[in-house]
Amino acid sequence: MIMPDDKSIIGIGIDQGVANCGYSVVKLREDDEVEVLCSGTIITSSDYPLPQRMLILYNEINQLVSEHKADIIGCEKLFFNPNQKSSTKKGGRNKSASIVYTNMATGLLSLIAGQHKLPLKEFVPGTVKKFLTGNGRAEKEAVEEAVLKAVFKNNGDTNAKTLKTTHESDAIAIGITAVKYFRDHKEEILTLFKHKKPRKKKGVK
């Protein structure tokens, strides 16, 4: 839940997906330094029925939000291209099904954000690039370098470091974007999330 008196900002970054869901917990300190508290990839097996897989994602992400007392959840903004053809060949991936599953994961984030009274912000790639590198059209390598610097800045040469999955890397990038976005829009967000008493409908006591 948002705590206006906190000096630091905690953000949960999610690269949403059902099979592979990247996550990160990012802290923006009072001195404007970024610290990655934890990150990884939640993997759910296709051997499980979909409701069970969604429950696994819910439990894992909800626990992150609760334990770290997050101020904001960030995720990727998805776009649907109606002209994009689905690949159903042997060994290929059904893109339409993938989009549906990813949108389900986004809905799950909305539920968690609503339960904790937190903002859920979806970011397009250009916004992530802008917050990480200062350039909304930065190359992929520049973004990856910024992510590695944030993760390994206290552990020697970042050139020799890697992350386990691209989902994890993307989630960290989104988490960094989320906390910086919160910093820049804090008053607006806090005003939006002030508690308001529900209005009673006429005829209801």
Helix (H) or strand (E) holding 168: helix 166-184
- Cα–Cα distance, 80 to 82 (Å, whole number): 6
* The domain made up of 9-192 is a member of CATH 3.30.420.10: yes
Helix (H) or strand (E) holding 11: strand 9-15
- Of 176, 119, 107, nearest in space to 2 by CA: 119
DSSP 8-state symbol, 8: S
* pLDDT higher than 90, residue 198: no
pLDDT tens, position by position, 113-140:
999 999 999 999 999 999 999 999 999 9
DSSP-derived secondary structure for 20-62 = EEEEEEEEE-TTS-EEEEEEEEEE--TTS-HHHHHHHHHHHHH
Helix (H) or strand (E) holding 123: strand 120-123
- Of 155, 187, 189, 133, nearest in space to 36 by CA: 155
Q: What is the mean pLDDT of residues 89-107?
A: 75
pLDDT value for 7: 81
Confidence of residue 87 (pLDDT cuts 50, 70, 90): very low
* pLDDT higher than 50, residue 141: yes
* pLDDT higher than 60, residue 187: yes
pLDDT value for 98: 79
